Structures are given as structure tokens and as C-alpha cells.
């Protein structure tokens, strides 16, 4: 790289001008050298070399006429360019062939000079350049361009209108409220080419990052009120997230507790997922109380949520749920025991195996393997004496995998079982633990 750098500005320009048009020669090695040098001079300790490279590149860019080579040189400026290149690149913002790579380069540089260049170009740009500039100003959240972009959002061109709506959504100013609401109302919160609904949802979400948050809260609440159709549940879920993100944990939990009473199962499930973010000891107790009053499916879902959020305060709820008549609730409680791996649930789980079906018994066996306590093997060994044969087989397998030395006496008692499968399992367990 030092050899390339020793060429100076004139030599670097000459080197760049050696690029051949497509089909006239192989540029691979030359492009590799130029790209490597562009990366090399980008280091902060090579400021003078970088300035020299900028001067050389801009001169070569001015002379180069072949579009592919011109684009290549522009793209390399993204590695080492600075705000000094803005005046030289501004004219290309109105050229459909080069506006996209130039926008990428200038966006990576940033700063007020770039923003003003984009805004000035937008006033003259047409077609693809106009759309790209609208997107760029939106991505950069340039508030000063909002008025111009609002005008673009009224265009008859759906592609430009889409770009403008998403740009306004990113800028997220209250001044855009009227046009954003009009756009989404026009399509009835459905799908259209302009993406009005998606843009509006993004707009409301981004409004929530501003202060005060009242406009975002009002907009999200209106979405919940307007979007009642089953086909719009995804919008209600998005609005619910915005609302709860804006509330304190206690208020958010109250909102979510009401949401789980909604008739739509997908909406209820989403509310429970959102609840985990706002969980604390006090709110866990509120959810426990809600579960105790809930019906089977809803109760099972709340139990699952509490287990997923590792709420040990809910162990009493889980233990009681193991005895419920509803199989959904029992299954949720078993899975919760697996999540928490709690020794407090060992006795209820062992008792449940006396009446559980084979699938549940296997699940409990897997859970027992993961409960880490020196008490587990002994309590299993005692419980399996009066368990049904299938449960005995499962518990013997657990003892074998846990290498439960010290439980040989209880294991040998099962050698007297009338069930030959249990006898064989007892023998295998004794062998596994070395007895």
C-alpha cells in the first residue's frame, strides 16, 4: 500500500483512469488495488494520505465517463470520504444512474452539509432520484424536509407516495398526523401499494419515542378502537404493544390483564407475551390472582407465562394446578415445573404420577432428571414403591441416570414386583449404579 501511496495524487488519478470499459479488458486486479488502498487510507492515523486520495479520486471521477467505472469510484469514497466531497458529489444526486451510490456515500458521512444537499436536490429531482432522496431524508429523520416530503405524499405516483409515507413515519412529527391518518383511513387499515397502514403503524410507534408521549398514546388507543375486525388483530396487537411500552409497569400490567379477557385467542396470547416485560413481584401476584379466577384455557396460558418469566412466587399456583380436572391446566403446570426445576414441586409431581397417563408420566420423568437436589433420589425411591408399574419404570430410569447410589434397598424391593418389566428395570438400574 505504501507503494501505491507513493504515486501521489497525480499517480493515483492516473491509476484510476486505467480502468477499462466492460468487455475491453479485465479490471479485477486494478479494482482490487484501488479498493485495498481506499480501505488502507481510511484509518484515522493516515489523514494526509486520505486527503491525497480524495483529491485524486475526485479528479478521476470528473474525467471518467464510463458508467460502471464511475460508479466503482463513487462507491470507494464511502470508505474514506469526508464532508469535503459533498460539493463534488451533489450534481450526481440528480442523475438517475449515480444518485443511489452517491446517497449511500453521503449518508455514511452525515452532517448538516449532507442533509442540506439532499433537501436542495429533492426540490429538483424526478423519478428514481426523487424517491431515493425522500427515503434518505426519512432514514436520517431530517425534520426540516418534512414539509417537502408531505407534498410528495400527495403524489399520484404510488411508489413515491409510499416512500414519502415511510419517510414521514421515520421523522415522526406531529405535523404529519393529518396526512398519515388520512392515508390509513383511505385504505381502511388494509393493504395497498403505498403501504399506508404499515407506515402509519411505524409512525405511531416512533411517535412514542418523542416527548410528550400523549400523541402516541392517543393514536394507539384509536387503533385499538377502530380495528375491531378479526382480520386486523395484528394491528391491535401492535397498538397494544405501543400502549404498554408507554405505560409504567403497574399500569401496563392492568391493561394486559384486561387484554387477556379479549375474545381473540391470538390477541390474548400476545398480551401474555408482552406481560413478561413488565413483570415484577407485585405484578406477578396480580397475575396469580387472575389465574385463580380464570377458566381452563386462560388459566393454562397464564401459568405458562408465569413459568416463562421464572416467577417462583407462582409455585403454589402451579402445585394446585397439578390437581386440576382440566388437562390443559395440568399440562401447563407440569411444564411450569420443568421450567422452574423447583424442589418444592417434587412431591406433587410424584403424587401426580400415580394417576397420570403415559405421556405425562414421561414428561414428569424428564423434569425429575433436571431438578438438582440431593433429596431427589431418596424421595423418588420411596415414592416408587406404591406407584403403578409404568411410573415405576420411569422412576427407575431416572434413578439409573442420576447414578442414585444409596437407594439400592428400595430398588431391590422392586425385584419382587409381579410385573416382569419392572423386575428387569430394577436389575438394570442396580447394574447402572454399580450394585
Distance between CA atoms of 232 and 223, rounded to whole angstroms?
Answer: 10
pLDDT at 3 over 70: no
Angle of CA points 228, 231, 234, to nearest 5°:
85
Residues 72/99, Cβ–Cβ less than 8 Å: no
The mean pLDDT value for 63-78 works out to 95
Which SS3 state, helix, strand or coil, does residue 198 take?
A: helix
Distance between CA atoms of 295 and 275, rounded to whole angstroms?
Answer: 19
pLDDT at 6 over 60: no
The mean pLDDT value for 417-428 works out to 96
Residues 433/408, Cβ–Cβ less than 8 Å: yes
Residues 209/217, Cβ–Cβ less than 8 Å: no
Confidence at residue 416, expressed as pLDDT on a 0 to 100 scale: 94
| Per-residue pLDDT band at 2 (split at 50, 70, 90) | low
Residues, the chain, total? Answer: 435
Angle of CA points 43, 51, 139, to nearest 5°:
70
The mean pLDDT value for 232-250 works out to 97
Distance between CA atoms of 402 and 418, rounded to whole angstroms?
Answer: 25
Confidence at residue 131, expressed as pLDDT on a 0 to 100 scale: 98
Q: What is the dihedral of CA 4, 10, 14, 16, to 10 degrees?
A: 60
Buried/exposed code over 381-394 (b: 16+ C-beta within 10 A; e: otherwise): bebbeebeebbbbb
The mean pLDDT value for 336-360 works out to 93
Residues 92/67, Cβ–Cβ less than 8 Å: no
- Prediction pTM value: 0.86
- Percent with pLDDT over 70 in the chain: 98
Supply the DSSP symbol for 154.
T
Distance between CA atoms of 262 and 266, rounded to whole angstroms?
Answer: 9
Confidence at residue 14, expressed as pLDDT on a 0 to 100 scale: 86
pLDDT at 1 over 60: no
Amino acid at each position: 500500500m505504501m507503494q501505491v501511496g507513493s504515486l501521489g495524487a497525480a499517480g493515483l488519478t492516473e491509476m484510476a483512469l486505467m480502468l477499462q470499459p466492460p468487455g475491453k479488458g479485465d479490471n479485477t486486479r486494478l479494482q482490487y488495488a484501488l479498493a485495498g488502498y481506499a480501505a488502507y487510507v481510511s484509518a484515522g492515523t493516515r489523514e494526509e494520505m486520505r486527503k491525497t486520495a480524495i483529491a485524486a479520486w475526485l479528479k478521476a471521477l470528473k474525467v471518467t465517463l464510463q458508467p460502471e467505472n464511475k460508479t466503482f469510484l463513487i462507491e470507494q469514497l464511502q470508505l474514506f470520504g469526508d464532508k469535503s466531497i459533498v460539493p463534488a458529489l451533489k450534481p450526481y444526486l440528480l442523475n438517475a444512474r449515480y444518485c443511489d451510490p452517491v446517497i449511500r456515500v453521503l449518508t455514511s458521512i452525515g452532517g448538516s452539509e449532507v442533509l442540506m444537499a439532499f433537501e436542495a436536490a429533492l426540490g429538483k429531482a424526478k423519478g428514481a432520484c426523487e424517491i431515493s432522496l425522500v427515503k434518505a431524508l426519512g432514514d436520517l429523520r431530517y425534520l426540516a424536509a418534512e414539509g417537502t416530503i408531505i407534498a410528495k405524499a400527495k403524489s399520484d405516483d404510488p411508489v413515491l407516495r409510499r416512500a414519502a409515507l415511510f419517510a414521514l413515519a421515520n421523522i415522526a412529527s406531529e405535523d404529519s398526523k393529518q396526512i398519515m391518518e388520512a392515508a390509513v383511513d383511505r385504505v381502511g387499515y388494509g393493504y395497498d401499494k403505498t403501504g399506508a397502514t404499515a407506515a402509519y403503524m411505524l409512525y405511531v410507534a416512533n411517535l412514542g419515542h418523542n416527548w410528550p408521549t400523549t400523541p402516541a398514546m392517543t393514536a394507539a388507543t384509536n387503533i385499538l378502537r377502530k380495528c375491531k375486525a378479526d382480520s386486523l388483530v395484528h394491528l391491535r396487537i401492535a397498538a397494544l404493544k405501543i400502549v404498554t411500552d408507554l405505560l409504567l409497569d403497574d399500569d401496563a400490567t392492568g391493561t394486559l390483564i384486561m387484554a387477556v379477557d379479549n375474545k381473540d385467542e391470538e390477541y390474548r396470547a400476545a398480551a401474555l407475551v408482552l406481560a413478561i416485560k413488565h413483570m415484577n413481584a407485585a405484578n406477578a401476584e396480580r397475575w396469580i390472582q387472575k389465574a385463580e379466577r380464570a377458566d381452563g384455557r386462560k388459566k393454562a396460558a397464564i401459568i405458562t407465562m408465569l413459568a416463562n418469566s421464572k416467577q417462583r412466587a407462582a409455585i403454589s399456583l402451579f402445585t394446585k394446578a397439578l390437581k386440576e380436572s382440566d388437562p390443559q391446566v395440568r399440562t401447563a403446570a407440569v411444564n411450569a415445573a420443568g421450567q422452574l426445576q423447583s424442589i418444592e414441586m417434587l412431591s406433587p409431581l410424584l403424587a401426580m404420577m400415580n394417576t397420570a397417563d403415559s405421556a405425562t408420566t414421561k414428561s414428569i420423568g424428564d423434569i425429575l432428571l433436571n431438578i438438582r437436589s440431593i433429596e431427589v433420589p431418596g424421595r423418588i425411591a420411596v415414592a416408587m414403591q406404591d406407584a403403578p408399574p409404568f411410573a415405576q419404570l420411569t422412576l427407575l430410569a431416572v434413578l439409573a441416570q442420576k447414578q442414585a447410589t444409596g437407594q439400592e434397598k428400595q430398588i431391590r424391593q422392586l425385584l419382587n414386583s409381579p410385573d416382569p418389566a419392572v423386575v428387569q428395570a430394577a436389575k438394570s438400574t442396580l447394574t447402572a449404579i454399580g450394585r
